[in-house]
Amino acid sequence: MNAPRHVFLIDGSGFIFRAFHALPPMTRGDGTPVNAVYGFTAMLMKLLDETDADHIAVVFDTARRTFRNEIYPDYKAHRPPAPEDLVPQFPLMREAAKALNVASVEMEGFEADDLIATYARLARGQGAEVTIVSSDKDLMQLVGPGVTLLDAMKNKIVGPAEVAEKFGVGPDKVIEVQALAGDSSDNVPGVEGIGLKTAAQLINEYGDLETLLAHASEIPQPKRREKLLEQADRARVSKRLVTLRDDVPVPVPLADFRVKRPDPAALLDFIKAQSFRSLIAKAEARLKTAGPAPASPPQTEYVLVQDVEALKTWIAAAKAKGVVAFDTETTSLDSMQAELVGFSLCCEPGRACYVPLAHKARGAPQAAFDFGDGGGMAGGGALVEGQIRKEAALALLKDLLEDDSVLKVGHNIKYDMQILARLGVGIRPIDDTMLLSYVLEGGLHGHGMDELAELYLGRRTIRYKEVVGSGRGQTTFDFVPLEKARDYAAEDAEVTLAFHRVLKPRLAAERLSTVYETLERPLVPILEAMERAGIKVDATQLRALSDDFARRMAALEREIHALAGRPFNLASPKQLGEILFDEMGLQGGKKGKTGAYSTDAGVLEELAELGHDLPGRLLDWRQIAKLKGTYTDALAAQIDPATGRVHTSFAMAATSTGRLASSDPNLQNIPVRTEEGRKIRRAFVAEKGHLLLSADYSQIELRLLAHVAGIDALKDAFRRGLDIHALTASQVFGVPLDGMDPAYRRRAKAINFGIVYGISAFGLARQLGISNGEAARYIEAYFAQYPGIQAYMERTKEEARKGGFVTTLFGRRCHIQGLNDRNPNVKGFAERAAINAPIQGGAADVIKRAMVRLPAVLERAGLKARMLLQVHDELVFEVPEAEARDTAALVKGVMEGAASLDVPLVVDTGIAPSWDEAH
């Protein structure tokens, strides 16, 4: 039998606990918890697909008591028992390894780390490379020639340099440092008062523990000297505890770790028994191959369509099937500038085609492509032979894509709709597999094609950079050779159809059809039209603002240099830190891993609050620099030369709550509470003869909170049209409504909106500039006044912990990760997200319901308004001047009727030549 070449040793316990805490609770049909089993199985399958190792084993821990408890009875004694939901999953983890035909090993009396150390020594003795799959710092002592650690969660290799960064010493000195510093998580005592940093300094100076202890009486620091002399034996015991044994009489020979093909029936039976639907396709794909997943699955046929008759055959087949997956290939991600290069079709599993239209000879000069008849020259570069004339192909394609009897399936089909809309071709009816994934598992993972192919199909798709190159060698898709383009493009369509077959049936089974059919799918053509319409921006105003910002930045720079006593680069955190903390001697300087001081906004704000002028001026400079770079300069550059407008892109699957995200340019983060931000919004204007209409939901999240939490006092206030913030101030602070100090209302407003986001006393204290104790009293008084809110919060957190997600009024699932994390910060963030998600997600659903209804209502009324933007709770329209008031009344009515709540929905409207004035 051949000696091992590459040995993978997987820390099974590490996998188990990371999977358990990373994933939301999951149960199979009989109620058995299986979230850790799912994560363990998925990670193990991924590792098997990606490694070239020829010998692999999962190493498990057994009971807690090992030989180390004989050395030190309290070793790991204070560790809590495993979580109740995890205990029944331990045997299932071993079943998972068995189902995948991966060797597993464990041994009474020894920890998994000792077995790993022993197998690593044996493998190196046979000349093999060793990869230890773990993030456990205790295993870093094994790193050395031919032995590395792989943190699979972060996809990070840990070698000697990374060990030195962690411990301050090389791998050969790790146990010396750990002996001194101890380890509270394992109850390794170490020496009191000595942490990792000090331990590393001492070992670097003295070489090893025994040499240090021999010279302990010479240590100049009295307390350190005393502890080292008193606790020398503790240090020696600690060293024995942290030193991994590499001489364990292993129960399974290394040769038995040889990679073996799993038994198909055993693997599929195990996965189906756990109800892991998303892993079934991946397992089936794995069973078809003996090694790592290839770029395309076996038994696929990708066809290059190069004449009209062949295209007609494919279109006829699509019509006969009634469903076709479709994708475009273009020269750019900017749908307003991109040129169509070709398209792909797939109407049956495993077989797809690519229709090239505008590929050019490599080396031909690139220029703007002529969308004409597709013949002759293209932008100065000769078209390669074997392509259908664009005009003829589009005529045939239009007949298919606008056929109401054929369902067109795309992945982010909004982009393809925009490309073809510019060429006079519509696409209807549609399904979008990106949105199917988003509705089913929003918040659990991304929804890009490459990621979903691995998750749902167990496939590694051809990457875009593998086709067009990267860096200086990158080309556009129109210069990709036809055969290479065929494989990439046809795979996109074929994978999209596979997604559709896996995901669409789950909607009904998981009761999510309504969310997809009424909120997400009908919104696609509406957003496509909004993006194509864009909004006009006054370039002259932007240039004037940029010039004004530049002058103010220059003036601030001079002032800051004067305060510093010398010139320096304001954009350099390193130079700024040196000025503040070394030269000016301000307190509070903290250095990061790079050795530079932290000078983020939080640090500067604290210094400014202490009365230091320079940090405050620097914050002002940064704010103006951001506005100039992100908005006034960038927006001017993003004005489309053909339309004179900017065309933002609305991402439909980017948030966990259903909210849309805006990018290129991002119009959702323009500051609205500062004069500078309002000036930027003033540059967004209506076309001549038109006005901008802003329609904004008033306090929609508080209204939803009153409804879903059942807060009678809040419901009554909203029904009576009272000032909710003033009322809250009166009730919480005990001050009369009449003649109220505005400061009380501001504080109440911060509490009202903060509560929706699960704000902590610490967060409220920072926001209001008060003590933590005072903030805690405010929150306590608020809960006493509105007791139903706290009950809602606890109920929502429990719902999230139980199912792994919370649900909005309209049935949207918002998955929440981190609720079981042992890190209190991560857990706290997850709990706040769980509290907020039904509210923010509900608000997103309400405005989407309105957006879906509005275009048809406007059309029936004969009004010519165009919806241009959605920014959080606001819609912006461009309306003819003569129709402005009628349009505002109609829009207000539709938006206020988008949901039936226990409180009225209220929409504020404004009409003006610019966005700022309308808002």
pLDDT score for 294: 36
Task: Give the residue-averaged pLDDT of 343-358.
Answer: 96
pLDDT greater than 50 at residue 124: yes
112 and 57 Cβ atoms separated by less than 8 Å = no
Q: What is the mean pLDDT of residues 260-286?
A: 79
| pLDDT class of 379 with cuts at 50, 70, 90 | very low
Kind and range of the H or E run holding 870 = strand 866-871
> 436 falls in which pLDDT band (50, 70, 90)?
very high
| Whether residue 366 has pLDDT greater than 60 | no
Cβ neighbours for 63, distance < 8 A, ≥ 6 positions apart: 108
Q: Which pLDDT value is given to residue 871?
A: 94
Q: Which of 149, 133, 150 is nearest to 141 (CA)?
A: 149
Region 851-877: mean pLDDT is 97
- Of the listed ranges 49-53, 507-511, 628-632, 653-657, the least confidently predicted one is 49-53
- pLDDT band with cut points at 50, 70 and 90 for residue 911: very high
With 50 as the cut, is the pLDDT of residue 369 above it? no
Listed range (297-306, 787-796, 885-894) with the worst mean pLDDT = 297-306
Q: Which band of pLDDT confidence, cut at 50, 70 and 90, is reported for residue 365? A: very low
Q: Is the distance from CB of 789 to CB of 705 less than 8 angstroms?
A: yes
Cα 557–Cα 561–Cα 563 angle in degrees, nearest 5: 115
pLDDT band (50, 70, 90) for residue 593: low
DSSP single-letter state for residue 152? T
Q: What pLDDT does residue 363 have?
A: 54
Tokens linked to 336:
């307003």
Q: Residue 776: its pLDDT value, please?
A: 86
- Which one is predicted more confidently, 847 or 210? 847
Only one residue has tokens 């000697």, namely 160
Tokens encoding 798: 């429990």
CA-to-CA separations, 154 to 43, 133, 358, in angstroms, rounded: 12, 11, 40
SS3 177: helix
Beta bridge partners of 183: 188
Among the listed ranges 352-356, 521-525, 658-662, 721-725, which one has the minimum average pLDDT value? 721-725
Q: Would you state the pLDDT for residue 388?
A: 96
* CA 249 to centroid of chain Cα atoms: 45
Separation of alpha carbons 817 and 63, rounded Å: 29
| Average pLDDT score over residue span 739-768 | 81
- Mean pLDDT for the stretch of residues 137-162: 87
pLDDT digits (tens, 9 = 90+) for 322-344: 999 999 999 999 999 999 999 99
Residue indicated by tokens 């429990």: 798
Contact between 663 and 648 (Cβ < 8 Å)? yes
Q: Alpha carbon of 634 to those of 519, 621, 665, 687, 803: distances in Å?
A: 32, 18, 8, 21, 43
Q: What is the bridge-based pairing of β-strands 323-330 and 340-348?
A: antiparallel
The larger pLDDT score, comparing residue 468 to residue 822, is at 468
| Residue 373 pLDDT > 60 | no
With residue 345 as reference, give the H or E element that holds it. strand 340-348
CB-count burial class (<10 Å; 0-12, 13-18, 19+) for 489: buried
Helix (H, G, I), strand (E, B) or coil at 386: coil
The yes-or-no verdict on residue 297 having pLDDT over 60 is no
- What value does the mean pLDDT take over residues 458-470? 87
Of these ranges, 70-79, 107-116, 431-440, 573-582, the one predicted with the greatest mean pLDDT is 431-440
pLDDT in tens, 551-570: 999 999 999 999 999 999 99
What is the Rg, in whole angstroms, of the alpha carbon atoms belonging to the chain? 32
- The CA distances from residue 522 to 173, 404, 527, 850, in Å, are 62, 15, 9, 11
How would you write 639-662 as a 3-class SS string? CCCCCCEECCEEECCCCCCCCCEE
Mean pLDDT for all residues in the chain: 88
Instruction: Give the residue from 54, 391, 95, 474 showing the smallest Cα distance to 266.
Output: 95
The mean-pLDDT minimum among 381-395, 407-421, 422-436, 658-672 falls in 658-672
Q: How far apart are CA 915 and CA 436, in angstroms?
A: 34
**Distance between CA atoms of residues 42 and 27, nearest Å:** 16
Confidence of residue 381 (pLDDT cuts 50, 70, 90): low
Per-residue confidence (pLDDT) for residue 874, from 0 to 100: 96
At residue 643 the predicted structure's pLDDT band, cuts being 50, 70 and 90, is: very high
* Phi, psi values for residue 215, rounded to 5°: -110, 15
State both tokens at 916.
């700022």
pLDDT at 135: 85
Q: How many CB atoms lie within 10 A of CB 332?
A: 12
User: What residue has token string 């496939």?
Assistant: 459
Which residue type, as a one-letter code, is found at position 157? I
Segments in 627-666 forming alpha helices (H): 633-637
Q: Check residue 370 and give its pLDDT.
A: 33
pLDDT, residue 703, reads 94
Q: Quick one: pLDDT at residue 318?
A: 96
368-382, 709-723, 842-856: which has the highest mean pLDDT?
842-856
Exposure of 900 by Cβ count < 10 A (0-12 exposed, 13-18 middle, 19+ buried)?
exposed
Q: Of 75-79, 557-561, 633-637, which gets the smallest average pLDDT?
A: 75-79
Return the axis-axis angle of helices 35-50 and 12-22, rounded to nearest 10°: 120
pLDDT at 664 over 50: yes
Detail the DSSP E strand segments found in 235-316.
Answer: 301-304
Tell how strand 6-11 and strand 55-59 pair up.
Answer: parallel
Question: What residues have CB less than 8 Å from 35, skipping those under 6 apart?
Answer: 19, 20, 23, 24, 25, 26, 85, 89, 804
- The DSSP-derived string for 462-513 is PPHHHHH--GGG---GGGS-HHHHHHHHHHHHHHHHHHHHHHHHHHHHTT-H
Residues 271-294, mean pLDDT to the nearest whole number: 65
**With bands split at pLDDT 50, 70 and 90, how would you rate the model's confidence at 19?**
confident
**pLDDT above 50 for 751:** yes
Of 148 and 185, which is predicted with more confidence? 148
**What pLDDT does residue 145 have?**
87
Which pLDDT value is given to residue 286? Answer: 58
What does the pLDDT read at residue 9?
Answer: 94
Cα–Cα distances in angstroms (integers) from residue 633 to residues 1, 228, 262, 288, 673, in the given order: 67, 61, 58, 53, 21
Cβ-contact 198, 33 below 8 angstroms: no
Which position has the higher pLDDT, 297 or 243?
243
